[in-house]
Amino acid sequence: MTEADPHGQWRQPSEPPMDPAQGGHAAWTSSSDAQQGAVGQAPASWNQGAPAPSPWQQGAPGGAPQGVWAGPPGVPAGQAGPWGPQPQGGAQLPPAPPVWGDSAPRPGIIPLRPLGLAELFEGTFRAVRANPSVMFGFSMAVMALVALVAGILQFFAWDYVFALAEQDLMTANAEDQLTQTAAAISGMIFSTLFSSGLIALSTTILTGILAITVHDAVLGRKASVGDAWRAVAPRVLPLLGVSILISLIQIVVLLVVGAPVGLGVWAIVGSNPEELSPGAIVGVVLLVLLAFLLIALAVVALSVKLVFAPLSVVLEHQGPIAALGRSWKLTKGAFWRTLGRYWLMGMVLSFASGLLGGFAGAIASLFVILGSPAVGQAATMFLSTLLSGIVLPLSGAFVTLMFIDERMRSEGIAAQLAEAARQ
C-alpha cells in the first residue's frame, strides 16, 4: 500500500515514513508498481475497513443516520426520491461503490475523476487564478529578465551588422572587410546561441515549477515560489537531461529521414545539374515534399509520445531515460486523445500568441521606420521572449492536468489524490 507524504506525492511502501520537517516532495510511484502479484488478489487496503468520512463524504443533510439511504437535499427522509421509493424502516445498505460524476471529490481546481476537454481548459484557468503570483508573476519576472539579456545581445549584434553594411565597400581594405564580416557573423551566432540556450534553460526550470504548483492546486494547496523551487531544485539536472534527450531523438529522426532524401536529390541533380529535365525537377520537388511530410509526422508523433516525460521527472522523480519510457507507456492506447488535446491547446495558444506577436511586430517596424533597425531587432527579441512568459503558464498547467488525468484514467490514482488532499 502506498503512503502519502505531506506534499501529496507517493513512494514505495518499503521506504520509511518521511519527516515533514525535512521538506521536499516524495515521488509518486506508478500504480502498476503497487498492484498485487496474483491476478484477482484484492489490495490489502480493501480489508482494512472503511476510512473515516471525508468532507466530501459526509452524511446526508437533515441528520440522517450514517449508512441509511437518505434522499437528496430538499427531499425529507422516508419519502420517495426521483429514483423511486426509499427502503422502509431505515434498512441498512451496503456502501455504494465510487461513481464518477458530480459526487467525485474536488479538493482543488478539478474533480478527482477522468476529465473532459472543457474541464481541462477550466482547470487551466483555475490553476492560474488559484496561484497567480507563481503562475504568472514569477514566470513573467523570469522571462522578463531573460528577454532583457537576449534583447541587449541582439541589439549589439545587429548594430554591428548594420554599421558594417553602411561602410563604403569601394574604399574599404579587403583584409579589414573580411575581418569585420567574420566578426559580425560570429557576433550573430553567439547572440543567437546564447539567447536560445538561456531561454531553453529558463523554460525548462519554469516547467518544473509550474508542474509542482498545479499539482498542489489539484490537492487544494497553494505553493509559494520557495516551496516550488525547493521541490524542483534537485530535479533541474534530470529535467535538462530529458530535454536534451528529446532534442537528440528529434535530430536523429531528422537525419534518418533526411539523409536518404538528400542522397536521392543528389543522385538526380548530380548526374547532369546543368540540363535537368522537367521530370527530374518534379522528382526533386516530390522528394523534398515527402521528406518534410515524414519529418513533420515523426516529430509530432514523438512530441505526443514524450509529452509527459518532464512531468514524470518532477512529479515521480524518474530519471531522464526512465521518464521517456514512462511517458511512452502512459500514452499507450491514448495517443489520439493526447494528440487531439495537445493540438487543440496549441492552436488556442498559437492564436493568442499571434495576436500579441502582431503587436510586437508593429513596435519593431516602428523602430525600423524611425531609422533604428538594430533597436527594432532587439525589441522583437525582447517582446517575443516576454510573450512566452504569458503562454508558458497556460501550456504548463494544461499539460500537467493532462498528465494527472491520464493517470486517473489508466492507473486509478483518484483515491490516492483524495487521500493526499486530506493530509
DSSP letter string, 212-274 = HHHHHHHTT----HHHHHHHHGGGHHHHHHHHHHHHHHHHHHHHHHHHHHHHHHHHHHHH-TT
Residue-range domain boundaries for the chain: 122-240+317-421
The residue count for the chain:
423
270-305 b/e with 16+ CB inside 10 Å = b? eeeeeeeeeebeebbeebeeebeebbeebeeeeebb
Cα distances (Å, whole numbers) of residue 40 to 23, 37, 169: 38, 9, 84
d(CA 317, CA 333) in angstroms, rounded, equals 24
Do 380 and 361 meet the contact criterion of CB atoms below 8 Å apart? yes
pLDDT at site 328: 96
Phi, psi of 81 (to 5 degrees): -90, -175
Angle made by CA atoms 49, 6, 207, in degrees to the nearest 5 = 125
Using alpha carbons, select from 79, 77, 50 the residue that is nearest to residue 61.
77
Residues of the chain short of pLDDT 50, as ranges, are 1-27, 29-101
Angle made by CA atoms 151, 154, 160, in degrees to the nearest 5 = 140
186 residue type, one letter: S
pLDDT at site 81: 44
| pTM given for the model | 0.71
Listed in sequence order, the DSSP H helices in 131-235 are 132, 139-165, 174-218, 225-232
d(CA 113, CA 99) in angstroms, rounded, equals 9
Residue with cell 490489502: 44
110 residue type, one letter: I
Q: Dig out the grid coordinates for 346 from the structure.
A: 496549441
pLDDT at site 314: 96
Say how far residue 418 (Cα) sits from the centre of its chain: 23
Residue 107, SS3 per DSSP = coil
Using alpha carbons, select from 310, 147, 306 the residue that is nearest to residue 236.
310
Phi, psi of 200 (to 5 degrees): -65, -40
pLDDT at site 168: 60
Do 219 and 227 meet the contact criterion of CB atoms below 8 Å apart? no
Listed in sequence order, the DSSP H helices in 81-138 are 117-130, 132
d(CA 341, CA 326) in angstroms, rounded, equals 19
Cα distances (Å, whole numbers) of residue 381 to 185, 336, 346, 390: 18, 35, 21, 15
